[in-house]
């Protein structure tokens, strides 16, 4: 993993959106910088909620200056309305990164779980315990959206060197 890489992990949601910033250290070390959750009022108009989400993520990007964003890929088998609202939020989050020229990498929940715990079917409790241990936190991040955002950051830090290798391999093969 590239030491010093600053990653913003985002667990997208319209009601609760987990945000984190981590720095890649030496080897597999990941250093937590910030973690939080943006909440938007359920009863507010969709446009107002998206505006609040946009303002919050823009403030975070301005303050922490991430070099890359790791975003959870939407995966839902249930309520189509929930998926659509989350998708609108993802668009706002990706736009904020694009406006700054920041690369966005998307990971499925099972990819993040496998990277962090070694088990693609790990539950929230296992994920939170591992993130707390990996980052050396004195207490577990709460709510789960915050822990998930940190997990996305860790996942990308650990996969960044592999992604760079794969990109170099593809570009050398194409020449």
Mean pLDDT, residues 53-71 taken together? 98
| Catalytic, out of 11, 23, 52, 148 | 11
CA atoms of 80 and 97, how far apart (whole Å): 26
Domain boundaries, the chain: 6-174
Band (74; pLDDT cuts 50, 70, 90): confident
φ, ψ for residue 9 (rounded to 5)? -95, 135
For residue 72, say whether it is annotated as part of any ligand binding site.
Answer: yes
For residue 139, say whether it is annotated as part of any ligand binding site.
Answer: no
| Catalytic, out of 62, 145, 148, 166 | 145
Band (155; pLDDT cuts 50, 70, 90): very high
Domain range 6-174, CATH class: alpha beta
169 pLDDT above the threshold of 70: no
Put simply, whether the predicted model's pTM sits higher than 0.85 gets the answer: yes
Question: Looking at residue 171, what is its pLDDT?
Answer: 58
Q: How large a percentage of the chain has pLDDT more than 90?
A: 79
Residues near 49 by beta carbon (within 8 Å), at least 6 away in sequence: 14, 40, 41
User: Are 102 and 5 within 8 A, CB to CB?
Assistant: no
105 pLDDT above the threshold of 50: yes
Question: Looking at residue 173, what is its pLDDT?
Answer: 55
Which helix or strand (DSSP H or E) is residue 120 part of? none
Question: Looking at residue 111, what is its pLDDT?
Answer: 95
User: Are 60 and 96 within 8 A, CB to CB?
Assistant: no
Number of alpha carbons in the 13 Å side-chain half-sphere of residue 38? 24
For residue 145, say whether it is annotated as part of any ligand binding site.
Answer: yes
Pick the range with the lowest mean pLDDT from 36-40, 81-85, 89-93: 81-85
- What is the tens place of the pLDDT at every residue in 126-145? 999 999 999 999 999 999 99
Question: Is residue 11 annotated as part of the catalytic site, yes or no?
Answer: yes
Between 175 and 37, whose confidence is greater? 37
Question: Is residue 72 annotated as part of the catalytic site, yes or no?
Answer: yes
For the chain, first and last CA: distance in Å?
Answer: 25
Residues near 30 by beta carbon (within 8 Å), at least 6 away in sequence: 22, 23, 24, 134, 135, 153, 154, 157, 158
């Amino acid at each position: 993993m590239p030491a010093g890489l600053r990653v913003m992990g985002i667990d997208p949601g319209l009601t609760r959106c987990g945000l984190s910033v981590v720095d890649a250290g030496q080897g597999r070390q990941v250093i937590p910088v910030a973690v939080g959750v943006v909440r938007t009022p359920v009863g507010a108009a969709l446009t107002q909620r998206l505006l609040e989400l946009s303002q919050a993520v823009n403030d975070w990007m301005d303050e922490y200056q991430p070099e890359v964003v790791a975003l959870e890929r939407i995966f839902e088998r249930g309520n189509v309305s929930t998926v659509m609202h989350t998708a609108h939020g993802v668009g706002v989050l990706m736009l904020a990164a694009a406006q700054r020229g920041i690369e966005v990498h998307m990971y499925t929940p099972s990819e993040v779980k496998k990277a962090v715990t070694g088990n693609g079917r790990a539950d929230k409790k296992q994920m939170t315990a591992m993130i707390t241990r990996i980052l050396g936190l004195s207490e577990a991040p709460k709510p789960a959206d915050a822990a998930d955002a940190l997990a996305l950051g860790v996942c990308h830090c650990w996969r960044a060197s592999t992604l760079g290798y794969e990109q170099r391999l593809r570009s050398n093969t194409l020449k």
